Amino acid sequence: MGAMDVRALIFDVFGTVVDWRGGVIRDGSALAAARTPGLAASSVDWPAFADAWRGRYLPSLNRVRTGELPWRNLDQLHRASLDELLAEFGADALGEADRAHLVGAWHRLDPWPDSVPGLTRLKSRYTIAPLSNGHVALLVNMAKRAGLPWDLVLSAELVHAYKPDAATYLSGPGLLGLAPGEVMMVAAHLDDLAAARSHGLRTAYVRRPLEWGPGGTAPEPRPGDELDHVVDSLTDLADRLGA
């Protein structure tokens, strides 16, 4: 683990700190329930829709990462994939206001039950920030609503580069005035952590079984992953880090 002390923790957000699947299903279903039966939103299988929408996420980011598209924030990318998917799910009649509301669902995601207590404890000892592909406004709206007690908000938007680009990971230590080894990336995704580690950051893996669907199982790290910590919650991480 090296002799350097960790000073800051930076967090993946979607799936690690908040439950994107539950939030999208909740807002989609509420839209359907608020309508006269037979209207567009009522015909959608929202659990399936949530997974399909998230499925467009990486291909969508990659179009920006490869330079095929100029910089677009997540609202813009989510809106483009929403429009495609509504057509595929037979709900193309959904109007403009409802589409905008659904894009906003990603700003209104609920934290996992341990997220706020864990972050609150970790904040007493470390600087804590998201380092998310979500843009600043989305992360701020989410934090205000959910009570996520960030010290500051770090985002791919600040460097116009999406994870796993090196620039995104290095913006954490860079803006915090720290060495990469003084910063720990916390995520529920092993590929995110492998990229962070390749740029010299420390790593903590949070098992989030529900990130993999109802009744899901979190992937187990392999020895070669060389994670600094493997935990089951952010309160568990606070225990490990003495916070």
Instruction: Tell me whether strands 18-19 and 8-11 are parallel, antiparallel or unpaired.
Output: unpaired
Task: Tell me which stretch binds a copy of itself (CB under 8 A): 77-85, 150-158, 187-195, 215-223.
Answer: 150-158
Residues 119-138, mask of contacts with a copy of itself (x by CB under 8 A): --------x-------xxxx
Nearer of residues 44 and 77 to a copy of itself, judged by Cβ: 77
End-to-end CA distance of the chain: 18
Is residue 95 within 8 Å of residue 83, measured between CB atoms?
no
Torsion, Cα of 169, 170, 171, 174 (10° steps): 150
- Bridge partners (DSSP) of residue 111 are 18
State which of residues 63, 144, 145, 240 lies at the interface with a copy of itself (CB under 8 A): 144
H, E, C per residue of 55-111: HCHHHHHHHHHCCCCCCCCHHHHHHHHHHHHHHHCCCCCCCHHHHHHHHHHHHCCEE
Q: Does 177 bind a copy of itself (CB under 8 A)?
A: yes
Nearer of residues 25 and 134 to a copy of itself, judged by Cβ: 134
Q: Does 210 bind a copy of itself (CB under 8 A)?
A: no
Least spacing, CB of residue 137 vs a copy of itself, in Å: 3
Least spacing, CB of residue 207 vs a copy of itself, in Å: 29
Q: Does 240 bind a copy of itself (CB under 8 A)?
A: no
Least spacing, CB of residue 159 vs a copy of itself, in Å: 10
Q: Does 4 bind a copy of itself (CB under 8 A)?
A: no
Least spacing, CB of residue 139 vs a copy of itself, in Å: 8
Q: Does 152 bind a copy of itself (CB under 8 A)?
A: yes
Least spacing, CB of residue 218 vs a copy of itself, in Å: 30
Q: Which residues does 236 contact at the CB level (< 8 Å), separation at least 6?
A: 114, 118
The DSSP symbol for 14 reads B
Q: Return the closest-CA partner of residue 80 out of 68, 72, 91.
A: 72
Lookup result for tokens 């009649």: 93
Sites for a copy of itself among residues 178-197 (CB under 8 A): 178
Q: Does 168 bind a copy of itself (CB under 8 A)?
A: no
Sites for a copy of itself among residues 37-76 (CB under 8 A): none
Report how far apart, in Å, the C-alpha atoms of 90 and of each of 57, 110, 121, 207 are: 20, 28, 46, 35
Instruction: List residues near a copy of itself by CB under 8 A.
Output: 127, 135-141, 143-144, 150-153, 157-158, 175-178
